[in-house]
Chain A
Amino acid sequence: MPCPDEGTLRAWLDDEPSAAGAGEHLAGCAGCQDAVARLRLDARTAAHAVQLLHPAVEPDAEAVEVALEHATARSRLRAAVAPAGARAAATTVLPPADGAAAATPPRRRRGTPRARLGAAAAAAALALVAVVATPAGRGAAAAFLEQFRSDRFQPIEVDPAQAEQAFEQLDQLGTVSGDLQGAQPRPVASLAEASRRVGFTVRTPAPASLPAGVGGDPEIMVSPAHEVRFTFDLAKARRSLERDGRAGVELPARFDGASLVVSIPAGVVLVYGEQDLTRPGMLVGQAGRLRVSAEGVSLGELREFLLDLPGLSDATRRQLRAIDDWRTTLPLPIPAGQVRWSRSTVNGVEALVLAQPGIGAGLLWQQDGRIYGVAGNLPVQEVRGVAERLR
Chain B
Amino acid sequence: MVAPARSASPRSAPADFDELFRGRYRELYSLSHRLLGDAAEAEDVVQEVFWRLAGTTMLDRPDEEIAAWLRRVCINATYNRLRGQRRAARRLERAARLDPGGPAEDALTGVLRDERRHAVRRALAALPERQRACLLLRHSGYSYAEIAAALEIATGSVGTLLARAERTFRHNYQEHEDALS
Contact = CB atoms under 8 A, between A and B. Distances in A.
Interface of A: 5-11, 14, 16, 18-19, 38-39, 41-43, 45-47, 49-59, 64-65, 67-68, 70-72, 74-75, 78-79, 82, 159, 161-162, 164-165, 167-168, 181-182, 246, 310-314, 317
Given A8-B159, A10-B159, A161-B7, A52 B22 contact: no
Interface of B: 1-4, 6-7, 10, 13-14, 17-18, 21-22, 25-26, 29-30, 33-35, 37, 39, 42-43, 46-47, 50-52, 54-57, 80, 84, 99-102, 113, 116-117, 120-121, 123, 135-136, 138-140, 144, 155-167, 169-170, 173-174
Nearest to B1: A310
A46 B164 CA distance: 12
B57 A45 contact: no
B29 A68 contact: no
B165 to A, nearest CB: 8
Contacts of A72: 14, 17-18
Contact of A56 (B35, B42, B101, B156): B101
* A interface SS class: helix
Contacts of B34: 50, 53-55
Most A-side CB within 10 Å, residue of B21, B50, B55, B174: B55
A42 B1 contact: no
Contacts of A55: 29-30, 33-34, 39, 42, 99
B55 A10 contact: no
Contact of B140 (A50, A67, A168): A50
A49 B17 CA distance: 34
A79 B13 CA distance: 15
A46 B170 contact: yes
A253 B13 CA distance: 37
A312 B1 contact: yes
A50 B135 contact: yes
7 contacts: A45-B173, A47-B139, A54-B30, A71-B21, A71-B46, A72-B14, A168-B56
